Structure 1
Amino acid sequence: MSLPVASPRMAFVAAETPSAQFARQRLADRYGATALSDANVIVALGGDGFMLECLHRFIDHPAPIYGMNRGTVGFLLNDFEENELPERIARAVMVSLTPLRMEAVTVTGQTVRALAINEVSLLRETRQAARLRIRIDDMVRLDELVCDGVLVCTPAGSTAYNLSAHGPILPMGANVLALTPISAFRPRRWRGAILPHSSRVSFEVMETGKRPVSAVADYTEVRDIAAVTVHEDPIAKLRMLFDREHHLEERILKEQFTP
């Protein structure tokens, strides 16, 4: 879907790196900078981490985000180019993302909620492996998983940490989530599961004192957890803009053919 405006009003935000700040100033001088409150497009300049920060920061802003790479990998970003920026934005493809909602309860009874655009991961905190019980929609599916960790990811996040943990790449629009173990020790051959996107995934930490576990939703970390629940948050829609020839669906598909 293309952006439904012929003349983008652009607000520029940038990471703190010199290259991103220089690019922001160049673009603002060339095209003029609109205040965030009046913008119908937010142009984000930085790397993938900064793009994730912007998606969280502007989750309630009505304008979609058009990112340009001033970082390293730039999987969630378009190539940087100063010329014809309004025209590129007007031709761009809109991608809507549905984040995950994490609810983590610590061993002291504190509840922490956070959103994750890529994944929610549980990770052991010490030298000893974590012991976890996994429920899907309140039904125990794995009574005991001994591992370094486990994660639930969205299609947009399936090529990130999930892929490094040998999880599956999920096409955009597939309406599924990936549940992927990280260095599973028992059951050693369990490779995870692909779940309907409506699933509610619950983790119970066993032996919390001896085997402490942390939970991370993108960059929000909660230490010493007792239980975590993860599910899609259909209300929190995120909108991104990609150049038509290099949109997110194409990038995810291409990853499946990368040696």
Structure 2
Amino acid sequence: MILRSRIHFTASATPVAAAALADLTGRHGQAPLPEAEVIVALGGDGFMLQTLHDLNGRDVPVYGMNRGTVGFLMNSFSLDDLPRRLAEAEEEVINPLAMHAETVGGEVHEGLAINEVSFLRQGPQAARLRISVDGKRRLDELVCDGVILATPAGSTAYNYSAHGPILPIGSDVLALTAVAAFRPRRWRGALLPKTAVVRIDVLDPGKRPVMADADGRSVRDVRSVEVRSQPAICHRILFDPGHGLEERLIREQFV
């Protein structure tokens, strides 16, 4: 049990999250972020991802309470017993993906993704992509609507909707999943080691433009993208006992 008395609260812009913020700060105060022992994020999964990104490497755990819609990364909301819940919470540590994207115009964009990096067609025609892993070409041409590279934490999000596998936390693998693959028609994707460096080259960017997206941060008209895990960055997320990411990932497969 870890006692955490200096709490910094943050909330999404929705009225229900703002009301929860007012109630909780009225009860527990509001510690300045540099002095906080824990951050309590009030919102949905999107706001949790935003909160983790905004930490910029600050070593402080985040405990989410669901005041949004999905809430896969969040705990149930209650105004009562917050100090006890924080003291008893279990910690999960996840590493983001680092994206390095180059556009047709020669611009370079960097981004981090906790859930996934996705490559999606921008126009009406399917994308033509070449896939390399650790410098070795693995797929000369993939004609598809897109490709997703997902972490275990993000494997139940867009990746799962595209019929990708759910990955156990701590499995040290990434899921590479095709979105509506046309050629090869039966190619569904691959499981890759966490250490893999994945490169996507766009074969016909003028006629078939492609965008890259890292947790909602988009880059249009990309020519090539490299993605790798970033073990130097650790995001600490707190969950109520018995409701951590591992349990949620298993439970999701039996719904």
Normalised by the length of structure 2, the TM-score is 0.99
Equivalence map 1:231-246=2 (5 Å): 231-246=228-243
Tell me which residue corresponds to 1:101: 98
Tell me which residue corresponds to 2:46: 49
Q: Which amino acid aligns with 2:7?
A: M
Deviation for aligned residue 1:51: 0.5
Q: Identify which of 126, 130, 133 aligns with 1:129.
A: 126
Report the Cα distance in structure 2 between the residues aligned to 1:8 and 1:148, rounded to whole angstroms. Answer: 48
Q: Which amino acid aligns with 1:185?
A: F
Structure 2 gaps of 5+ residues are none
Structure 1 gaps of 5+ residues are none
In the alignment, is the contact (CA less than 8 A) between 1:202 and 1:227 conserved in 2?
A: yes
Q: Which amino acid aligns with 1:16?
A: A
Q: Which amino acid aligns with 1:106?
A: T
Tell me which residue corresponds to 1:23: 20
In the alignment, is the contact (CA less than 8 A) between 1:59 and 1:237 conserved in 2?
A: no
**2:206 corresponds to 1:209:** yes
Q: Which amino acid aligns with 1:211?
A: R
What RMSD in Å do the two structures reach over aligned CA positions? 0.8
Deviation for aligned residue 1:245: 2.1
How many residues are matched?
A: 255
**2:153 corresponds to 1:156:** yes
**2:75 corresponds to 1:85:** no
Report the Cα distance in structure 1 between the residues aligned to 2:235 and 2:38, rounded to whole angstroms. Answer: 13
**2:249 corresponds to 1:248:** no
Report the Cα distance in structure 1 between the residues aligned to 2:3 and 2:10, rounded to whole angstroms. Answer: 21
Report the Cα distance in structure 1 between the residues aligned to 2:79 and 2:16, rounded to whole angstroms. Answer: 13
In the alignment, is the contact (CA less than 8 A) between 2:11 and 2:41 conserved in 1?
A: yes
4+ aligned runs moved over 4 Å, structure 1: none
In the alignment, is the contact (CA less than 8 A) between 1:67 and 1:76 conserved in 2?
A: yes
Normalised by the length of structure 1, the TM-score is 0.97
In the alignment, is the contact (CA less than 8 A) between 2:117 and 2:214 conserved in 1?
A: yes
